[in-house]
Structure 1
């Protein structure tokens, strides 16, 4: 988290509303990206709900340098509650076994520029929600290992296992959705490039 973000959070806690507004504005796109492939249709209400929770509990952020992880932790809780309400059996909604597709079979609101990328987006929506969240946070939002542990409320070893299992589930969905071998190969290649780009960034 940039040093200026820490300063904004501390100023916000001290009563500077403008600092709070600036901090929230910095992370608006982060939240939009988080919700877009997990919810069909407009996500503005979920973004607003997440920000309102952060406003109400801004003093709960134990480490100001980890505000992004805190924000995404709140966003995940908001997302899970959204699907508990929409699920046919809200009391038994399990994000480890239930996918976005299971609850809402509408297509993703993300329009990718290539067919293989669109297939990748749709395949992500068909794996259990917590695996989708883990993969998208790691690959799309470049969260570090400690940040993922915080957002998912899991120890490091379990997070690694979840990412590994998530990749396996995603590959199976890509294979099931691909209309032909050419599209299958292109989509799997797209995923590998996506994964390699993040892996290279982490290693260097």
Structure 2
């Protein structure tokens, strides 16, 4: 829990948009992991395994939908960081701006970008966590990047007017 607690909590928050539900889900994830530890074969990293459990618990709790509320940037929930106040404010602003655009994308694209860029999972790890073929994950990432670029460009051209 010490090593992966923040990751599990951020992921649950990303999927639910509700901090209290994310905390409940985090507890359930670690209970499931504890109960199933002997069945962990080591085919993936512990991080990927816990992410998979987190995604499954979130889907169980919320159905296929995500974001009961519009969440703020999940990285804000990370504690113990040692950035200066100014650097942290700039980083949050940049990530929040990207997250705002990300939330306008279809759910599979949101998921792919979040797992790849925020949790830094490989495409293989994302495929394992989401039970999707790796080619599908790569395709979603590619299309999600294009859609995100269009979304940002669209807003920039609107702001220029």
Q: Post-superposition shift, 1:138? A: 1.0
Q: Post-superposition shift, 1:35? A: 2.5
Q: Post-superposition shift, 1:52? A: 1.4
Q: Post-superposition shift, 1:124? A: 2.0
1:35-54 maps to which residues of 2 (within 5 A)?
35-42=12-19, 43-54=22-33
Which structure's relative contact order is higher, taking Cα pairs within 8 Å and 6+ residues apart? Answer: 2
1:82-161 maps to which residues of 2 (within 5 A)?
82-84=61-63, 93=64, 100=67, 104=68, 106-110=69-73, 113-114=89-90, 115-161=93-139
Cα deviation, 1:12-71, whole Å, max 9, x if unaligned, reads xxxxxxxxxxxx221101112223333323121111111111112112211176211111
Cα deviation, 1:69-118, whole Å, max 9, x if unaligned, reads 1111111111212321xxxxxxxx4xxxx663xxx3x3323368344432
Cα deviation, 1:92-150, whole Å, max 9, x if unaligned, reads x4xxxx663xxx3x332336834443221122223233322221111122212321221
Report if the CA contact (8 A) 1:99-1:125 is conserved: no
The aligned length equals 143
Q: Post-superposition shift, 1:175? A: 4.5
For residue 72 of structure 1, what is the aligned residue in structure 2?
51
- TM-score (normalizing by structure 2): 0.73
| Structure 1: gaps of 5 or more residues | 1-23, 85-92, 183-204
> In 1, Cα distance between the equivalents of 2:44 and 2:140?
25
For residue 90 of structure 1, what is the aligned residue in structure 2?
none
- TM-score (normalizing by structure 1): 0.59
RMSD: 2.7
Report if the CA contact (8 A) 2:16-2:66 is conserved: no
Q: Which 10-residue stretch deviates more, 135-144 or 113-122?
A: 113-122
For residue 171 of structure 1, what is the aligned residue in structure 2?
149
> In 2, Cα distance between the equivalents of 1:133 and 1:172?
18
| Structure 2: gaps of 5 or more residues | 77-87
Q: Post-superposition shift, 1:153? A: 1.6
Distance of aligned partners of 1:39 and 1:58 in 2 relative to their CA distance in 1, 3 Å threshold: same
Answer with 1 or 2: which has the greater Rg. Answer: 1
> In 2, Cα distance between the equivalents of 1:69 and 1:116?
26
